[in-house]
């Protein structure tokens, strides 16, 4: 932990009680002047830090911005996800940043956030709107010991983690549309882009890209998306703290990743199925030029969708665009 | 085509008859002095070019080195493979070079050769011996419209192309050990490393790495490999021209890629099966910690191996190390 992170950890722990400059200085083994300088910098970033002779420093408010030290200090120790967190003000695409880190040999678990993306993308190279400060746009590097065809397991786990975290932070109950959309009131509020680098029988690394429309107002969506997309703010009727949500997602994802790497995908899949709006429904799935009609029956052990077609055959579907026939 | 390439094309076409400097100068629209300068450079690279007042320039011998202009001029037009050829004297791994080209947006079909690789690798990061000038170490970039699980089709097609080209150039009859080894007298003489970058349901790009032990002498193999590996030179009893073999492989691969992208994988798979030493045999397949015994029955439509286990069940196998039980 660097000094900013140590100070923020101490301030969060002290909460309303506060902590004196003398105590911070002794505990962190730096001068009181150095503490003061860091506090000033944190204030400049938007942290409201009260200083009084009696109560010392108290954290009264945190800014709605993503700060790697703050996220790391509040996330605390995890198994894998978030051992390293990096925040960019702007980048082309966080998936591209993580892909580069992966090729440079960075260990799994690193998480890259961007306040805004200039070339955010969804599946099949589709554009993903990522305006500054309005959402969570981030990517996670994993190096699971899985065959490429089991990568869908991680998309399933991520959708579940995002849905659980949204419910915890907002009280809303999100639905999951297979394979990678998180819906509120039938409108998309988060999406997942899974990209992998692999040999035929072996994943070299996997990049999970996660986009959550947190605080966008209705007018910030392009007109053609307003019926299809929504934000947590619109649905919850209040502005949400993005860092709180980010931490909740990372913790949930850390739990689900541990379950998958220890062979408990079935438990993850069962929880996912409870939230899934696709299973049991008649659906149409577009895969490139192909179109499949049928009833979505279940996930198989790789996370693929088993579709009972009109002709009674069971088809195994990996990706594609799902339309509900209702 | 650049000037070197145009001159080499003309010299190859003229063969023993030769072509005059005046004619070359007129045909290529450059001065005779410029032709002379390029001829001198080609001679410095090892091309034996005879010049006489009566017969003009004649190509009497080509060096055993890989020269992009020479390869391009002799390969001639293809559908996809080899539209762009690059030769490095030394590189870490040609797969890494092509991976970088892919991310830079280079179109499919580019082929990268290296005279030697400092970090040549086989499957699962295993080291691949790649001494200078002794073999063909190269990689091909493809952007097929295939699902990731169909990538095995390309490994199958490549193994077939390499086997056909070796047979054409040496008269030897290579066997194929599923999924990616080319054998002569039961010893490995070529291997294929397929790496891909993908979304869950969509290949972004695919890199075929091909290594052929062409002219290695027996003593050039490490002692522990001598019973397992061999070279074309050892088996054919003569040194082979590497450029001739490279061109034969690229042409065969161009044909097979066209068949796969036009939906004719079955025809490729049938030819592959005729050369395969694994099908019909009792085998043991190691996949990570797992071990499968059974009889290799056939390929499925994705190129995966269908294995009839001891218990009569049909298992679908994507990768792994195959041991023949003989």
Each residue's pLDDT tens digit in chain B (326 positions)? 688 888 988 988 887 788 999 999 999 999 999 999 999 988 888 888 998 888 889 988 887 889 999 899 889 899 999 999 999 999 999 999 999 999 999 999 999 999 989 888 887 777 888 888 899 999 999 999 988 888 999 999 999 999 999 999 999 999 999 878 999 999 999 999 999 999 988 899 999 999 999 999 998 888 888 889 999 999 999 999 999 999 999 999 999 999 999 999 999 999 999 999 888 888 888 877 788 889 998 888 888 889 998 888 888 887 777 777 64
Residue A145's closest chain B neighbor by CA? Answer: B288
Give whole-number Cα distances, B30 to B38, B65, B165, B273, in Å.
Answer: 11, 27, 37, 52
Do A148 and A203 form a contact (C-beta atoms < 8 A)? yes
Do B123 and B210 lie in one domain? The reply is yes
Do A50 and A180 lie in one domain? The reply is no
Residues A108-131 pLDDT 10s: 999 999 998 988 888 777 788 888
Do A251 and A162 lie in one domain? The reply is yes
Do A153 and A197 lie in one domain? The reply is yes
Half-sphere exposure of A325 (CA within 13 A, CB side): 13
**B318–A149: do the CB atoms touch at under 8 Å?**
yes
**A288–B155: do the CB atoms touch at under 8 Å?**
no
How far is CA A301 from its chain centroid?
24
> Residue B187 has which token pair?
């010893």
> Residue A219 has which token pair?
């007018």
Pick from A212, A56, A178, A84: nearest CA to A140: A84
**B319–A199: do the CB atoms touch at under 8 Å?**
yes
The full length of chain A comes to: 326
Cβ burial of A210 (10 Å; 0-12, 13-18, 19+) is buried
How confident is the prediction for chain A on average, in pLDDT?
90
Query: Which pTM value belongs to this model?
Result: 0.81
Residues B211-229 pLDDT 10s: 999 999 998 888 888 889 9
Calculate mean pLDDT across residues A235-264. Answer: 95
Chain B positions touching A148 (Cβ under 8 A) are 148-149, 196, 198, 318
CB-based contact (8 Å) between B193 and chain A? yes
Specify the CATH number for the domain of residue A187: 3.30.930.10
Do A70 and A243 form a contact (C-beta atoms < 8 A)? yes
Query: Which residues are B209's β-sheet partners?
Result: B139, B193
Predicted pLDDT of residue A202: 87
Do A202 and A301 lie in one domain? The reply is no
Q: Residues A164, A168, A172, CA angle at the centre, nearest 5°? A: 85
Domain boundary among B22, B43, B61: B61
Pick from B258, B256, B290: nearest CA to B271: B256
| SS3 of residue B100 by DSSP | helix
Q: Which of B197, B200, B204 sits opposite A194 (nearest CB)?
A: B200
Predicted pLDDT of residue A292: 85
Do A104 and A251 lie in one domain? The reply is yes
Boundaries of domain holding B320: 282-324
Do A131 and A259 lie in one domain? The reply is yes
CB-based contact (8 Å) between B149 and chain A? yes
Predicted pLDDT of residue A99: 95
Do B160 and B177 lie in one domain? The reply is yes
More confident of the two residues A259 and B131: A259
The full length of chain B comes to: 326
Do A245 and A301 lie in one domain? The reply is no
Domain boundary among A40, A61, A82: A61
Domain boundary among B249, B275, B301: B275
| SS3 of residue A175 by DSSP | strand
Specify the CATH number for the domain of residue A288: 2.30.30.100
Do A175 and A76 lie in one domain? The reply is yes
Domain count, chain B: 3
Specify the CATH number for the domain of residue A48: 1.10.10.10
Do B28 and B110 lie in one domain? The reply is no
Do B103 and B210 lie in one domain? The reply is yes
Query: Which residues are B182's β-sheet partners?
Result: B176, B190
């Amino acid at each position: 932990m660097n000094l900013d992170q140590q100070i923020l950890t101490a301030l969060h722990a002290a909460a309303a009680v506060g902590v004196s400059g003398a105590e911070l200085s002794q505990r962190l083994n730096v001068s009181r002047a150095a503490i003061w300088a860091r506090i000033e910098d944190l204030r400049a970033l938007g942290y409201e830090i009260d200083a009084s002779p009696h109560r010392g420093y108290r954290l009264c408010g945190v800014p709605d911005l993503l700060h790697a030290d703050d996220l790391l200090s509040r996330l605390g120790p995890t198994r894998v996800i978030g051992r390293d967190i990096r925040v960019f003000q702007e980048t082309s695409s966080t998936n591209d940043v993580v892909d580069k880190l992966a090729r440079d040999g960075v260990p799994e678990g690193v998480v890259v956030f961007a306040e805004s993306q200039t070339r955010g993308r969804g599946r099949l190279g589709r554009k993903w709107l990522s305006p500054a400060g309005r959402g969570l746009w981030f990517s996670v590097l994993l190096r699971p010991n899985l065959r490429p065809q089991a990568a869908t397991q991680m998309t399933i786990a991520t959708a579940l983690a995002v849905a659980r975290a949204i419910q915890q932070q907002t009280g809303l109950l999100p639905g999951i549309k297979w394979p990678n959309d998180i819906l509120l009131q039938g409108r998309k509020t988060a999406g997942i882009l899974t990209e992998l680098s692999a040999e035929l029988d072996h994943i070299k690394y996997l990049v999970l890209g996660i986009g959550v429309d947190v605080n966008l107002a209705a007018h910030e969506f392009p007109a053609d998306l307003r019926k299809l997309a929504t934000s947590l703010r619109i649905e919850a009727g209040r502005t949400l703290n993005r860092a709180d949500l980010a931490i909740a997602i990372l913790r949930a994802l850390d739990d689900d990743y541990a379950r998958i790497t220890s062979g408990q995908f079935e438990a993850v899949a069962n929880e996912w199925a409870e939230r899934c709006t696709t299973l049991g429904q008649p659906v149409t799935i577009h895969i490139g030029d192909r179109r499949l009609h049928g009833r979505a029956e279940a996930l198989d052990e790789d996370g693929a969708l088993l579709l009972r077609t009109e002709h009674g055959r069971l088809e195994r579907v990996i990706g594609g665009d799902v339309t509900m026939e209702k």
